[in-house]
Amino acid sequence: MYYTYIIRCKDNSLYTGYTTDVKRRMREHQTGINSKYTKSRGFSNLEIYFSCKTKSEAMKLEYKIKQKSRYQKLNIIENPSDFIENLKKEGFIILDYSKDI
């Protein structure tokens, strides 16, 4: 299983990434390991993550989210089911999403 996630940094910016282990990756972000972005801005919280079957799907989803504006990313966080419905129309297969680890 692979996951694409959006986190909020202490400066209120949003960071998007992908991982195979959400809990481990959040600990890394909290301690500033393996991410220059969150190390310099500080980790605040996990906003949402999406489950994907393959690494390729997770990476494609990460890229798609990163192309969006801040406003659009906030909309994804607030209305994930709408976002997933639009992804399905484009052929994405999202298994699930959550706002909690």
For the cut 90, the answer to whether the pLDDT of residue 83 exceeds it is yes
For the cut 90, the answer to whether the pLDDT of residue 90 exceeds it is yes
User: pLDDT digit string (tens) for 16-68?
Assistant: 999 999 999 999 999 989 989 999 999 999 999 999 999 999 999 999 999 99
The model's pTM is: 0.94
pLDDT bucket at 70, cuts 50 / 70 / 90:
very high
d(CA 29, CA 93): 27
CATH numbers and ranges of domains, the chain: 2-98 (3.40.1440)
d(CA 75, CA 79): 6
For the cut 90, the answer to whether the pLDDT of residue 100 exceeds it is no
